Amino acid sequence: MTTATASKGRDRKTGASAMLPDDTLLGWLRDLVLIREFEIRTMQAYSNAQIGGFCHVYNGQEAVVVGTFAATIKDDPIITAYRDHGHALARGMDPKACMAEMFGKTTGCAKGKGGSMHMFDRPNNLFGGHGIVSAQTPLGAGLAFATKYENEVLGEGEKRISLCFLGDGALNQGALHEAMNLAGIFSLPVIYIVENNGYSMGTAIHRGTTMSDKLEAKAAAYGIESLTIEDGMDVCAIYDKFKPFADACRRDQKPGFVDLKTYRYQGHSMSDPQKYRSKDEVGSYQELDPILTLKGQLIEDRGCLTEEDFKAMQKEVRAIVREAVKFAENSPSPDPRTELYSDVFTDPLPNSSPSGPYTHGEANHLTRGDA
Amino acid sequence: MTTAMIETTRQIQYREALREAMSEEMRADKRVFLLGEEVAEYNGAYKISQGMLDEFGPKRIIDSPISENGFAGLGIAAAMHGLRPIIEFMSWSFSLVAADQILNNAPKMLYMSGGQWGCPIVFRGNDGAGGQLASTHSWCVEGLFANVPGMHMAIPSCPYDAKGLLKTAIRCNDPVFFLESERMLGDKGPVPEEEYTIPFGEAILRAEGDDCTLVSFGRPVNFCIEAMVELAKEEISCDVLDMRTIRPLDIDSIVRSVKKTGRLVVVDQSWPFASPATEVITQVCERAFDYLDHQPVRVNSDDVPTPYAKELEQAYLPHKGKIIEAVKSTLGLV
Ligand SMILES: Cc1ncc(C[n+]2csc(CCOP(=O)(O)OP(=O)(O)O)c2C)c(N)n1
Ligand SMILES: [Mg+2]
């Protein structure tokens, strides 16, 4: 049983977010709403059997990506696990490409070859959703290695940081510990962000993870600077803490680790009866809802939003998401004759396979970067 | 299929050929770097990368801690981002702890991302029995890993091929599993000064004959040549095909030879069940069944864990005697 921590004690007037213009925060609110509305449609489409496979929605955790991405530049690589729709959308993926991917259509970001768990978006430097728990953590180190190498050896690009997201369940995989040790030894500018929603499937964190109330100790073991964000349902609170932390990692080109406490409203995946937690627990977090929180701040503190504005924003976003569903429904399914054997190799060679020749895949216009 | 070799008097070791390939490619392309255990300050556990730290410095010749899964994954993402990593496994036996990264990520990234991110990476290291290293350290991963689509697998049998194939591997835009052999690192062979590369998927005919087709990969190619020499004394002549790469597999050259000889013996050092030898025989049956005068025969390591004792290990591995017997069996001579 976890308990909700309200956003208290934070000075809304002096944090980094307080210095940002209204438009930026309104943009955050819109992103939060977009992810929420998108996932509502995702769940609908899943129950209509328009989406198959494993599907994990992001409801409740939206502030994590919106608050942390706000501290990045476009060239900063992002990588995450399978609960990845929010990351894709907040990073700028066209909702159409995201929805169509789940529908298994050619217009999806990965042309229907990856599905819900594997969202890749090259123009926006999203290096994937990854389905194997913690498999993305060595990759996160590699992205940081590459940006640092490009900067220092090739003299290309500015100082970048890589954000590598993981669930609390991924804390228990060896891959993360190898990756953090490598990041520490090589001083790689990667920030491991634990989306600590308290559960991996039905396992409460304290049942699977040592020092679960002091996760920063794990980072300390690898000589990595760390940060805990208790009020991780509050996008401004995330930004206020994360921005200076990320800036330091960027400046010093060194790794970081963030225990970001959040909560998922829905079951682990689309088939989870949720016997391991109470309705009251879920309700206590819903009182801290990221959308309601930011909306309140914008109406009360800043006075830059009215209820009517918010309704209009919701309406506009709902239309976009409806459009995305319609787009996915109307998009063509991949033709096995052209798509089954394409994209296996960048440069296909003859006789690579006994079952058929590989061919060159065509780029998807929605993720090619010229859309 | 190729038959001609470049004439040269320069003889270098297999390990030197590997080093030359890496060094030349690193001079030509700054995106290429070498990462692995003991590759830098120790000069390579097997002295393959000797001197490379001095030339290229610690930012490009990088000692990794013992974290195969970690540094394999690091290399994969670096490749996605645009670099050209060479990841050295001290032994392919140790790549098993990196299975998730090298099998799930490197060969599938392009497909899973719908063509957005390929993975131009080389994984290389010793494959096969090193000599009394016993079960954990004697893996021939070709049997296991060749099953996976999305990567090329090269397996050079001599210094010339080691250099030419590795240069191709480093320039390749797709992942390459490069299988070397500890037992051949000190072998010397002709390697010209001039630049050359060897294409993937083209076998080389090491010897020409009419009675039987001998097909092999990597180190056992040398045992096939020994067997061919012995058999010639008994007036039995063989085509010896060195496949050079397991994926792609130059099945066209094999089929052409089998159509001529009518007999096929395939030698590979992995276990027989679902091995490259098994794959070759299947494909020959699919394409040239009617040309076979005898059922194809495979020579593999025996289907047991690799033993330690010298006598047991010798009995277990493919060798000249087993190959001679296999060829004779296809001719009804044993
Ligand atoms: C290596 C591996 N083992 C098991 C699974 C099955 N699995 C998928 S998600 C999951 C729980 C992970 O929870 P967490 O990391 O906390 O992420 P969350 O779902 O809370 O976002 C498990 C066990 C997997 N995908 N990969
Ligand atoms: Mg979790």
Contact across the interface for A139 and B59, Cβ inside 8 Å: no
Residue A371 lies in a domain: no
Residue A219 lies in a domain: yes
Residue nearest to atom 3 of ligand 1 (CA): A133
B92 pLDDT more than 80: yes
Residue A265 lies in a domain: yes
A2 pLDDT more than 90: no
Residue position matching structure tokens 């899964």: B69
Residues 141 to 170 of A: which have CB under 8 A from any B CB? 141-143, 145-147, 149-150, 152-154
Residue position matching structure tokens 């930004």: A239
State pLDDT tens for residues A241-260.
Answer: 999 999 999 999 999 999 99
From the CA of A282, how far away is ligand 2's center (Å)? 14
Given pLDDT bands bounded at 50, 70 and 90, which one contains residue A368?
low
- A–B CB contacts, 8 A cutoff, strictly below: 186
Q: Which of A12-16, A166-170, A269-273, B146-150 has the lowest mean pLDDT?
A: A12-16
State pLDDT tens for residues A276-299.
Answer: 999 999 999 999 999 999 999 999
Domain of residue A247 covers: 16-334
- Measured between beta carbons, which residues in chain A are less than 8 angstroms from residue B33? 149, 153
Does ipTM top 0.90? yes
Q: Which tokens go with A251?
A: 């400046």
Given pLDDT bands bounded at 50, 70 and 90, which one contains residue A233?
very high
How much is the average pLDDT of B176-195? Answer: 97
The residues pairing with B189 across neighbouring beta strands, listed in sequence order, are: B12
Give yes or no for a contact between A328 and B95, defined as CB atoms under 8 angstroms apart. no
Residue A361 lies in a domain: no
**Residue B215 dihedral angles phi and psi, to the nearest 5°:** -120, 130
Q: Which of A113, A154, A361 sits opposite B31 (nearest CB)?
A: A154
Among A172, A195, A200, A285, the mutation site with the greatest number of ligand 1 atoms within 8 A of its Cβ is: A200
Given pLDDT bands bounded at 50, 70 and 90, which one contains residue A9?
very low
State pLDDT tens for residues A45-73.
Answer: 999 999 999 999 999 999 999 999 999 99
- Residues framing ligand 1 (Cβ under 6 A): A 56, 83, 131-133, 167-170, 195, 197, 199-201, 268
From the CA of B168, how far away is ligand 1's center (Å)? 38
From the CA of B305, how far away is ligand 1's center (Å)? 34
Percentage of the residues of chain A whose pLDDT score is greater than 90: 92
Q: Which atom of ligand 1 is nearest to the CA of A196?
A: 16
DSSP H helical ranges for B234-275: 251-261
State the pLDDT at residue B5. 62
Given pLDDT bands bounded at 50, 70 and 90, which one contains residue A365?
low
Which of A116, A149, A340 should we substitute to test contact with B (largest number of B Cβ atoms within 10 Å)?
A149
- CA-CA distances (angstroms) from residue B273 to B86, B148, B155, B265? 30, 16, 19, 16
What total number of domains does chain A contain? 1
Residue A359 lies in a domain: no
- Measured between beta carbons, which residues in chain A are less than 8 angstroms from residue B77? 79, 127, 138-143, 145-146
Distance from CA of A224 to the nearest CA of B (A): 16
Peptide bond into B248 cis (omega under 30): yes
Residues 259 to 278 of A: which have CB under 8 A from any B CB? none
Given pLDDT bands bounded at 50, 70 and 90, which one contains residue B1?
low
Query: The domain that contains A50 carries what CATH number?
Result: 3.40.50.970
How much is the average pLDDT of A123-147? Answer: 98
State pLDDT tens for residues B295-324.
Answer: 999 999 999 999 999 999 999 999 999 999
State pLDDT tens for residues B125-166.
Answer: 999 988 899 999 999 999 999 999 999 999 999 999 999 999
State the pLDDT at residue A371. 38
Mean pLDDT of chain A: 95
Domains of chain B: 11-190 (3.40.50.970), 204-330 (3.40.50.920)
Residue A370 lies in a domain: no
Largest CA distance in chain B: 60
Mean pLDDT of chain B: 97
From the CA of A96, how far away is ligand 1's center (Å)? 26
Residue A183 lies in a domain: yes
- Rounded Cα–Cα distance for residues B123 and B88 (Å): 6
State the pLDDT at residue A370. 47
Residues in Cβ contact with B267 at an 8 Å cutoff, skipping those fewer than 6 apart: B214, B215, B216, B217, B220, B221, B223, B224, B277, B298, B299, B300, B318, B323, B326
